[in-house]
């Protein structure tokens, strides 16, 4: 069953987070992830305001989790640590 990787992010270091995003894009693609939304216009209705919102579709929850735990993604994450406040969830798509 397909799954969505949903991230809400507040960036504090644009340069470091840009490097994370560049590296993460490669890792996500290697695990079958396809971006549906990356940044762009949004309306915050509830919860903490995280102005960068990212949604990627993966073939399954397992593929998305494997991406997150992969060496390539964890290396990318080393650039995001301290450069942003993030929330990340993986959710099954009910089709």
Distance CA 74, CA 49 (A): 25
72, 30 Cβ separation under 8 angstroms: yes
Backbone φ, ψ for residue 19 (5° rounding): -65, -40
CATH number where 62 lies: 3.30.70.100
End-to-end CA distance of the chain: 8
Number of domains in the chain: 1
pTM greater than 0.85 (yes/no): yes
Grade residue 56 by pLDDT with cuts at 50, 70 and 90.
very high
Grade residue 73 by pLDDT with cuts at 50, 70 and 90.
very high
Domain of residue 88, residue span:
3-92
pLDDT in tens, 8-48: 999 999 999 999 999 999 999 999 999 999 988 999 999 99
């Amino acid at each position: 069953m397909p799954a969505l990787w949903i991230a809400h992010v507040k960036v504090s270091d644009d340069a470091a987070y840009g490097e994370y995003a560049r590296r993460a894009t490669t890792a996500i693609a290697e695990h079958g992830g396809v971006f549906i939304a990356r940044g762009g216009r949004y309306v915050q209705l509830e919860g903490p305001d995280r102005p960068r919102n990212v949604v990627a579709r993966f073939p399954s929850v397992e593929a998305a989790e494997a991406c997150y735990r992969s060496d390539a993604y964890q290396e990318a994450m080393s650039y995001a640590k301290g450069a942003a406040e993030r929330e990340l969830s993986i959710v099954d798509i009910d089709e």
